[in-house]
Amino acid sequence: MKARYRYRIYPTPAQQLALAKLFGCVRTVWNDALAYCVNQYQAGGKKPSNASLQKQFITQAKKTVEREWLAEVSNVPLQQSLNDLEQAYQNFFKSCKGERKGKAVKPPRFKKRRAAQSARFTTFGFKLDKDILYLAKIGNLDVVWSRPLPSVPSSVTVIRDAAHRYFVSFVVEIQPETLAPTDNSVGVDLGVATFATLSTGEKVDAPKPLKKSLKRLRKVQRNLSRKQKGSKRREKAKKRVARFHARIKDTRTDFLHKLSTRLIRENQTIILEDLNVSGMVKNRKLSRAISDLGWRQFRTFLEGKAQKYGREFRVISRWEPTSQRCSCCNELGGKKELSVREWTCLFCGVIHDRDINAAINIKAAGGHSEAKNGCGGRRKTTAKVAASCEASTRPEVIQLSLFDLLLITAPSGR
């Protein structure tokens, strides 16, 4: 399987200038080709082929006065930029025809100068000799090798984020590492107050970096709003805000990586609930808190690491009533407000913690039941088989019908 290995680099001022030229050329070639494709579509024509776009906006464009500076950078990233545009259009066309699974893909968009920049080099554009990375027309880069590469990379992407930090990302071929099998399985219930509640009863709190740094973030954003547009001080203030957001993102990503790795190593099967995150963030009261947690990224990490280490990852339906069903007798107790954190089952009398009960039901719905009678979350208690929580030392619980309740509560003499 293929994987990405990302490292931090510290280019010299001369290399930063060369990378800025490279990013500008890659962005210009993409935008010129995209604008031409849009004009062709509006005129009633078809999208040009990738070969014709390469010839028109790279080979012939270098001979013009307006684009002669394209020859100052390597030709490989320019070709890869148009290859990415072709792939983006293919994904969009397949999504329109219904041939692509998942969420609908939007058409390609124009690249902005102030956003994160990237340029990809293939085999003919870079050279890796021991710990020295050479990029065509850039030179040798100072790479912080935090871990060794498992194999020879097939491509390398140079990235500059909004905080003006530089990274290189290698695409390498790795062999999946199969961990020692275990009998443990866990259901995970994701929440806002508590990030993850495990079916074992453990609760994991999230660092919530945005919530903790919100006061300081507002301060730096107010400082940015006071700066005059186009001034150098505004550029410095904008980088300061970008670095602040990058620090928040790194804190969240580090937490999600550590938790997902721990769950993968300790359990053979991890079961998660399919949450409609895009719909939940539309709630004005919870959108910031949900975005600060990173639910979707956590699920992506679990999926990738389960495939890498030979674990099983399952997702149950979002319509499964995990918070309404009693994990002991499997009876439905009805909908409950978010403020209700504990509730008592009306059928068996067991007091449940809302999150722990939901995590146990998630595990049972995924095919791993924790009930002593071996029920899988669908089976109801009958007269012959009692629920596991109904011990002989507990008082007998009598189930009354609505008609019996009316007879009991009715005034005497009527």
Tell me the C-alpha distance between 335 and 323, whole Å: 8
Q: What is the rounded average pLDDT of the residues 354-367?
A: 87
Mean pLDDT value of segment 156-180: 93
385 pLDDT higher than 90: no
pLDDT tens digits for 97-132?
Answer: 999 888 889 999 999 988 899 999 999 899 998 889
- Dihedral of alpha carbons 293, 299, 302, 305, sign: negative
Output the pLDDT for position 368: 64
* Catalytic positions: 189, 273, 355
Query: Which of 97, 145, 112 has the alpha carbon at shortest distance from 23?
Result: 112
Give the number of other Cβ atoms within 10 Å of residue 34's Cβ.
Answer: 21
Distances (CA, A) of 237 to 219, 232, 233, 386: 11, 9, 6, 67
Could you tell me the two tokens for 286?
A: 């919870």
Amino acid of residue 84: D
Task: Please report the pLDDT score of residue 320 as a whole number.
Answer: 87
Strands 185-190 and 196-198: antiparallel
Which of 347, 350, 351, 361 lies closest to 389 in space, CA to CA? Answer: 350
Q: 175 is written with which tokens? A: 């062999």
Beta carbons within 8 Å of 312's beta carbon, 6+ residues apart: 268, 269, 270, 306
Average pLDDT of span 288-306? 93
pLDDT at 239: 92
Q: What is the pLDDT of residue 61?
A: 96
